[in-house]
Amino acid sequence: MRDKSHQPSGEYEGSIIVKPANSYQTELKVKLHVWNITLPNRIQYPTCVWTTQHNLSPHEYRNLLALFLEHHIDPISVGNDFNFNLLDENMEFCLKKGLMVFETPKIEDLHKFNEYYKHIKEKGWLDKAMVYSPKDEPTEETFRNIIIPHTTIGHKKFPCLKTFLATQYYNNLDKGTDIWLYDVSTNFKSWIKSGCPGKQENWWYFCALPINVSMERPLADAPLMLIDRDAIEQRIVYWMAYYYKIKGIFIYAGNIAGWPNEVYELTNSKMPYPYAGITNGNGFLAYPPSKSSIRLKIIRDGIEDYWYIKKVADLAASGFHRKEAQNLIADIVLAIFVNTHYFNNDPESLLTYRKKFGEFLNGKIAY
């Protein structure tokens, strides 16, 4: 894969010198094959996170926004601001870097929100806007009595504004949300058994521990975006997402609020939260002020994997080596995963297939 400077394809060699302060230096030889493929600056597949400016200067916050966008991730909270001057500055900054979608403030004060709606419509941003429902992870009663009426009114007053909501499956789902965020362990199979009703977009939702939902499969068996989980889990999600025709990914938070300015000291005291200890890293893909986690890098790799698979599928649809391309995509199942809770933990398997996709796109079919 060529970088943004359009490095010519071919074979490259180099070395890395490691000089520890307390040991001898070591020279590592590196061989690299660059394919004749150039990834876009922004892959057109939405992966979203909430962000906060807590304890960050405006400059630091901009750097944080840029960090996520450079990894093909939308920091959607950039749109959640009634200060139009600040909103415009941050939105224009992000749009230049490929922002695909953003979150609006919630519809609470109708007059105030109407001014916001008019503003983003005039700016030409409405097609990228999403508003979150008034209740997160609702019960069926809340969904029926609060979410659906609220969404119905919102659609009438604010045409073309999409709603999004993390919830399990309920009847008449598309009356309550345009974008359905669901955890892969919840009862979405009930939706499948019902014949996949509704016109809502299906997105996957990763928050470590959805509380007000019914689980059909063990949460621990599914891929999770947490520190204590194998890195392959954060990457294989995108292979699964392509196969299951998932339109987007939502990860709870990129930098959760409350990170202290001072040095954080570890303690042996127990967290009061009853499920503490199994959600390490939930809400942190970047560390203050704008430092990438390893998971963020792995997620970027997964998004790029999605691009490779989609490109091969597009070529197959156009007739380019149709059979070989179709076979390559069909081999993902069983070789990489069986379903969302049964997958290959060996990273070499995924990397081998990534190489096959790259060689196919490079004009060398790996069969």
Q: Is the pLDDT of residue 366 over 50?
A: no
| 122, burial (CB in 10 Å: exposed 0-12, middle 13-18, buried 19+) | exposed
Q: Where are the domains of the chain?
A: 1-38, 47-261+270-303, 314-361
Does the domain spanning 47-261+270-303 belong to CATH 3.30.2020? Answer: no
Under the banding of pLDDT at 50, 70 and 90, the label for residue 257 is low
Contact 71, 292 (CB under 8 A): yes
Tens digits of residue pLDDT in 32-71: 888 888 889 999 999 999 999 888 899 999 999 999 999 9
Q: Is the pLDDT of residue 3 over 60?
A: no
Under the banding of pLDDT at 50, 70 and 90, the label for residue 5 is low
Q: pLDDT at position 364, please?
A: 59
Tokens of 205: 């939702």
SS3 31: strand
Average pLDDT rounded to a whole number, residues 227-240: 95
Tens digits of residue pLDDT in 113-165: 999 999 999 999 999 999 999 999 999 999 999 999 999 999 999 999 999 99
Tens digits of residue pLDDT in 287-321: 988 999 999 999 999 999 999 999 999 988 888 78
Under the banding of pLDDT at 50, 70 and 90, the label for residue 367 is very low
Residue 206 has a CB neighbour count (10 Å cut-off) of 24
Beta strands 47-50; 248-253: pairing state: parallel
Residue 87 has a CB neighbour count (10 Å cut-off) of 22
Task: HSE, CB side, 13 Å, CA atoms: give it for residue 108.
Answer: 8
Average pLDDT rounded to a whole number, residues 332-361: 94
Q: pLDDT at position 351, please?
A: 95
Under the banding of pLDDT at 50, 70 and 90, the label for residue 242 is very high
